[in-house]
């Protein structure tokens, strides 16, 4: 069930994971989320390596990517995704605390689909995550080869 | 020694005239008595020559006249009665010879006197002057030379100049000599050695003397002692070098300091940024979980507990605002300024419109402009007005009718002075210095909310634009903030308007 998620979330902060999932619960999207805790695990998931070697072949409908990650950082994950013929169609949303212009610029240069700064205000945060989830996982038509809505 | 030579001179001055007189008498006696005639009278020439040794022109002429007289007397006394007319020719020839000799002697005396005068004049000057022939053998040496180098004329004359003075030349000696022969003169600075072995720096000027066939025969050399000047020059040079070295050291130190400062500044900026950045996450969590708890448990909480929850949320939000302001403040320092002509009037109206949300329940009289076109980063300038105008709105909350004026004073040609004036709570001028400090506040949070970063940010932006900011106010009498910004030049203004 977990492996069938349409939303791949790459987030090292456990509290952010919980709060994001709580926000997505309101749209009943929480159980569609696959959580990976660092860049390496995210790539393992996408390339079906290590513990994910047995998962079905479909791509997630959207990737929520934090930039500050252990092992392989977010920008590097983004670069690999966008350089891969099979993965580059998957929408990637950078969801980060970083306002930094150079992060924004590099993300867009690498082909990110959206860049969202996590708001401090919880309401705003919840709204942002809900809207993101709703738009990319529900409203948006994902590219062929993505996990379909169950 | 001197005494001796003087007495010798005295003796000579007596002997010579006596001998001269004796010679004249002897000639007269022989001439008159013997009648040997002309040949004897011719010897008066010797008398004149002898007289020239100790008499001046007038005396010589007198002696010559006496000799002529004696010749004539001899002729009259020894004249033969036959009265041969040819006999008169001989004494006449003698007279002419005597007079001619006297004239020549007087002339020669004059020439010698002139030369002596020149020589003594050369001795008057303090410059060292000497003459050497083309083999560098010294032929003349004046008193100045003696004083400068310590050798007397008789010691120096006849010596080789180079061997005597051991001069060190700034250029090879042959080159100096070559230039002298080519152009007739040479000038330079030499280091020479005195008689006592000490060194002396001289400025030397050489002039070459040529004979009628243009062959160089001697060299006139004038030397000036420049040891003191040289020493001062060397001292100045040394001081200059030291100064240059010190300046270089200072420059290096300054550059190092500047680099260090820049590094520190960057470090501080990135520190401020990451502090603000990393502080956001736990804060977000605090607010998030507190809200979740509030939602989950509000029904089972009593009033006191609910208030505690509210306080947690309120404080967290305040911290969020602080962090956001701090982020903004640190971003001003790091951001690249993107400067262009900015028309302030539409910018201010835009900000006022954006503030409309917070002011819809208020009665505010806005007085805007006319405002100039300035040169700066439009987004930063907008931050300035957002801060100043929201401050004005905030501090006039206590008035039933708020008045906020944004205007421009005369200011300077290149800088516009703008002001934002309100009739709000004002402030005590005693604390005006604290107004622009980060986290400095003059009001309690219960009276007027705020983070204390707004005016610090404004000041930073104004300073980055090369302007100044100051505040005037009084408690309960409102406040006015004055700040200056560079005016846009005409061509930029045109560019700015067409944008």
DSSP B116-158: HHHHHHHHHSSSEEEEEETT-BEEEE-HHHHHHH---HHHHTT
Residues in chain A with CB shorter than 8 Å from the CB of B277 are 97-100
Contact A22 B317 (CB under 8 A): no
Who among B277, B292, B317 is closest to A121 (CB)? Answer: B317
- What domains, with CATH codes, occur in chain A? 2-139 (3.40.50.2300)
Q: What is the pTM of this model?
A: 0.48
Residues in chain A with CB shorter than 8 Å from the CB of B278 are 97
Q: In what order do the strands lie in the sheet with B479-486?
A: B364-368, B402-409, B415-422, B479-486, B469-473
The pLDDT tens digits for A87-134 are: 989 999 999 887 777 888 999 999 999 998 887 777 788 888 888 888
Contact A99 B277 (CB under 8 A): yes
- Domain boundary at B122, B142, B175, which? B122
Say whether pLDDT at B420 is over 90.
yes
- Domain boundary at B203, B225, B247, which? B225
Q: How far is CA B469 from the centre of its chain?
A: 39
Q: Is A72 on the interface with B (CB under 8 A)?
A: no
- What is the domain range of residue B425? 338-498
Say whether pLDDT at B414 is over 90.
no
Q: What is the CATH number of the domain that holds B486?
A: 3.30.565.10
Residues in chain A with CB shorter than 8 Å from the CB of B320 are 120-121
B453 located within any domain: yes
Overall average pLDDT of the B128-152 stretch = 90
User: Which tokens belong to A30?
Assistant: 């929480």
B137 located within any domain: yes
Q: Is A100 on the interface with B (CB under 8 A)?
A: yes
Helix (H) / strand (E) element for B241: namely: helix B227-297
pLDDT score, position B317 = 83
Together in a domain, B284 and B309: yes
Q: Is A21 on the interface with B (CB under 8 A)?
A: no
The pLDDT tens digits for B297-353 are: 878 888 888 888 888 888 888 888 888 787 777 777 767 778 889 999 999 999 998
Helical residues (DSSP H) of B335-453, grouped into ranges = 344-359, 378-395
What does the alpha-carbon distance between residue B294 and residue B298 come to, in Å, rounded to a whole number?
5
The pLDDT tens digits for B367-404 are: 997 899 999 998 899 999 999 999 999 899 888 999 99
Together in a domain, B470 and B376: yes
What does the alpha-carbon distance between residue B109 and residue B49 come to, in Å, rounded to a whole number?
11
Together in a domain, B239 and B193: no
pLDDT score, position B80 = 64
Residues in chain A with CB shorter than 8 Å from the CB of B287 are 120-122
Return mean pLDDT, chain A: 85
B403 located within any domain: yes
Together in a domain, B9 and B118: yes
The pLDDT tens digits for A139-148 are: 888 787 777 6
The pLDDT tens digits for B195-213 are: 998 989 999 999 998 888 8
pLDDT score, position B342 = 92
Together in a domain, B347 and B489: yes
CB pairs under 8 A between A and B: 49
Cα separation values, B346 from B350, B351, B382, B385, B497, Å: 6, 9, 11, 12, 11
- Domain boundary at B106, B122, B138, which? B122
| Best mutation target, A23, A102, A120, to test chain B (most B CBs within 10 A) | A120
Cβ neighbours of residue B277 closer than 8 Å, sequence gap 6 or more: A97, A98, A99, A100, B327
Together in a domain, B458 and B370: yes
B410 located within any domain: yes
B326 located within any domain: no
Confidence of residue B494 (pLDDT cuts 50, 70, 90): very low
Contact B284 A101 (CB under 8 A): no
Together in a domain, B188 and B260: no
B319 located within any domain: no
ipTM of this predicted structure: 0.74
Who among B273, B287, B289 is closest to A121 (CB)? Answer: B287
pLDDT score, position B2 = 40
Confidence of residue B499 (pLDDT cuts 50, 70, 90): very low
Together in a domain, B14 and B95: yes
Q: What is the CATH number of the domain that holds B212?
A: 3.30.450.20
Radius of gyration of chain A (CA): 14
Confidence of residue B491 (pLDDT cuts 50, 70, 90): low
- The DSSP 8-state label assigned to residue B301 in this structure reads -
Together in a domain, B145 and B174: yes
Together in a domain, B349 and B376: yes
User: Is pLDDT larger for residue B87 or for residue B250?
Assistant: B250
B321 located within any domain: no
B130 exposed, middle or buried (CB, 10 Å; 0-12, 13-18, 19+)?
A: buried
User: Is pLDDT larger for residue A149 or for residue A131?
Assistant: A131
pLDDT score, position B430 = 86
User: Is pLDDT larger for residue A9 or for residue B53?
Assistant: A9
């Amino acid at each position: 069930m977990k492996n069938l998620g349409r939303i791949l979330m790459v987030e090292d902060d456990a509290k952010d994971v919980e709060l994001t999932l709580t926000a997505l619960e309101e749209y009943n999207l929480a159980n569609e989320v696959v959580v990976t805790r660092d860049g390496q695990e995210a790539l393992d998931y996408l390339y079906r390596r290590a513990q994910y070697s047995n998962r079905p072949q479909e791509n997630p409908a959207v990737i929520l990517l934090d930039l500050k990650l252990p092992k392989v950082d977010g920008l590097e994950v983004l670069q690999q995704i966008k350089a891969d013929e099979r993965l580059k169609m998957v929408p990637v949303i950078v969801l980060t605390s970083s306002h930094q212009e150079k992060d924004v610029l590099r993300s867009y240069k690498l082909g990110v689909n959206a860049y969202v700064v996590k708001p401090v205000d919880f309401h705003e945060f919840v709204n942002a995550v809900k809207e993101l989830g709703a738009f990319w996982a529900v409203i948006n038509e994902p590219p062929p080869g993505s996990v379909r809505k169950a | 020694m001197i005494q001796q030579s003087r007495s010798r001179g005295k003796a000579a001055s007596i002997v010579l005239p006596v001998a001269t007189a004796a010679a004249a008498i002897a000639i007269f006696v022989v001439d008159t008595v013997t009648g040997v005639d002309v040949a004897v009278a011719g010897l008066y020439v010797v008398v004149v020559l002898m007289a020239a040794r100790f008499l001046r022109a007038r005396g010589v002429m007198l002696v010559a006249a006496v000799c002529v007289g004696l010749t004539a007397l001899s002729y009259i006394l020894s004249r033969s009665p036959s009265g041969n007319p040819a006999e008169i020719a001989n004494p006449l020839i003698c007279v002419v010879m005597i007079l001619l000799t006297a004239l020549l002697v007087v002339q020669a005396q004059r020439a010698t006197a002139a030369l002596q005068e020149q020589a003594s004049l050369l001795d008057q000057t303090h410059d060292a002057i000497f003459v050497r022939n083309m083999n560098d053998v010294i032929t003349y040496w004046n008193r100045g030379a003696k004083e400068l180098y310590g050798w007397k004329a008789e010691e120096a004359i006849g010596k080789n100049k180079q061997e005597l003075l051991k001069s060190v030349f700034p250029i090879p000696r042959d080159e100096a000599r070559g230039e002298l022969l080519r152009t007739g003169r040479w000038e330079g600075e030499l280091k020479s050695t005195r008689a006592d072995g000490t060194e002396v720096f001289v400025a030397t000027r050489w002039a070459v003397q040529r004979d009628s066939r243009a062959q160089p025969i001697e060299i006139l050399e004038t030397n000036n002692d420049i040891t003191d000047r040289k020493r001062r020059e060397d001292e100045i040079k040394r001081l200059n070098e030291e100064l240059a070295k010190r300046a270089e050291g200072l420059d290096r130190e300054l550059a190092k300091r500047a680099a260090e400062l820049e590094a520190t500044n960057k470090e501080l900026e990135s520190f401020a940024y990451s502090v603000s950045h990393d502080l956001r996450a736990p804060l977000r969590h605090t607010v998030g979980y507190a809200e979740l708890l509030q939602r989950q448990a509000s029904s089972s909480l009593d009033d006191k507990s609910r208030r505690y929850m509210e306080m947690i949320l309120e404080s967290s939000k305040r911290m969020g605002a602080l962090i956001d302001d701090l982020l903004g403040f640190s971003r001003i320092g790091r951001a690249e300024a993107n400067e262009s002509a900015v028309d302030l009037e539409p910018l201010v109206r835009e900000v006022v419109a954006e503030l409309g949300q917070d002011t819809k329940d208020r009665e505010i009289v806005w007085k805007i402009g006319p405002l100039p076109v300035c040169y700066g980063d439009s987004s930063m300038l907008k931050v300035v007005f957002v801060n100043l105008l929201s401050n004005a709105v905030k501090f006039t909350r206590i008035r039933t009718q708020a008045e906020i004026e944004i205007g421009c004073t005369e200011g300077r040609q290149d800088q516009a002075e703008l002001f934002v004036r309100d009739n709000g709570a004002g402030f005590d001028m005693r604390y005006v210095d604290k107004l622009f400090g980060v986290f400095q506040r003059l009001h309690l949070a219960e009276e007027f909310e705020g983070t204390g970063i707004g005016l610090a940010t404004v000041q930073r932006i104004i300073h980055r634009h090369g302007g100044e900011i100051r505040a005037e106010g009084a408690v309960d009498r409102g406040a006015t903030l004055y700040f200056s910004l560079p005016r846009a030049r005409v061509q930029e203004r045109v560019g700015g308007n067409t944008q």
